[in-house]
Structure 1
Amino acid sequence: MSDIFAQNPAELELATLMVKTLNLEIAAANVDPEAPIYGEGLGLDSIDILEVSLAISKHYGLQMKSDDQNNKVIYRSVRNLCAYIEANRTK
């Protein structure tokens, strides 16, 4: 599969972090930034989301909270998650 999705550099960086963290069998450039992260799309489950949250915390200095009422929106897609990180990151 070729690089068919329009990712900005921050989205590609996040997709790369997710692929490496979870050992996904997809190239980061082939992650659709609009596809669902949870369930269909990337097919992540709650344990995967926890691992991604820990990686985000270490990489971006951003504490992701499991009880955040906006998590369904934040984790809807790589694009949503990236926008949240960019607005709230400390490093």
Structure 2
Amino acid sequence: MADLDLEIKNLIIDTLGLEDISVADIDTDAPLFGDGLGLDSIDALELGVALQKRYGLSLSAESAETRQHFASVASLAAFVAAARTK
């Protein structure tokens, strides 16, 4: 799972152009939005598209479940891992 966490952190940095942030700066369990990494809804859309392209995931922007998946790097990694086993 650590490799997947790293992949997702790199995807976040690359997708959102976070030049001042390194993988080490992103806490796996910290919130991606608000007080954590500080992402916003536009970032969520861009990240969602990147995840769909990279991992073939199906995401619904309106789904409460999707919001839970985007809570942290750890929850995104768990979602990607679960989707891979289907």
What TM-score, normalized by structure 2, do the two folds share?
Answer: 0.88
Are 1:50 and 2:45 matched, yes or no?
yes
Q: 1:13 aligns with which of 7, 24, 29?
A: 7
Distance in 2 (CA, whole Å) between partners of 1:14 and 1:83 is: 11
Q: Do the aligned residues in 2 keep the contact of 1:61 with 1:89 (CA within 8 Å)? A: no
Over the aligned positions, Cα root-mean-square deviation in angstroms equals 1.6
Q: Do the aligned residues in 2 keep the contact of 1:37 with 1:78 (CA within 8 Å)? A: yes
Are 1:79 and 2:74 matched, yes or no?
yes
Partner of 2:64: 69
Q: Which 4+ residue blocks in structure 1 deviate beyond 4 angstroms?
A: none
Distance in 2 (CA, whole Å) between partners of 1:89 and 1:39 is: 29
Structure having greater relative contact order (Cα 8 Å, sep ≥ 6): 2
Q: Do the aligned residues in 1 keep the contact of 2:59 with 2:66 (CA within 8 Å)? A: no
Structure 2 segments unaligned to the other structure (5+ residues): none
Tell me the percent identity: 40
Partner of 1:22: 16
* Superposed displacement of residue 89, structure 1: 3.7
Distance in 2 (CA, whole Å) between partners of 1:68 and 1:82 is: 18
What TM-score, normalized by structure 1, do the two folds share?
Answer: 0.84
Structure 1 segments unaligned to the other structure (5+ residues): 1-6
2:4 alignment partner AA: A
Are 1:38 and 2:33 matched, yes or no?
yes
**Which whole-Å deviations, capped at 9, do the CAs of 1:17-38 have from their partners, x for residues lacking one?**
0100001121123310000001
**Which whole-Å deviations, capped at 9, do the CAs of 1:49-88 have from their partners, x for residues lacking one?**
0000000001111121112221332111110011011111
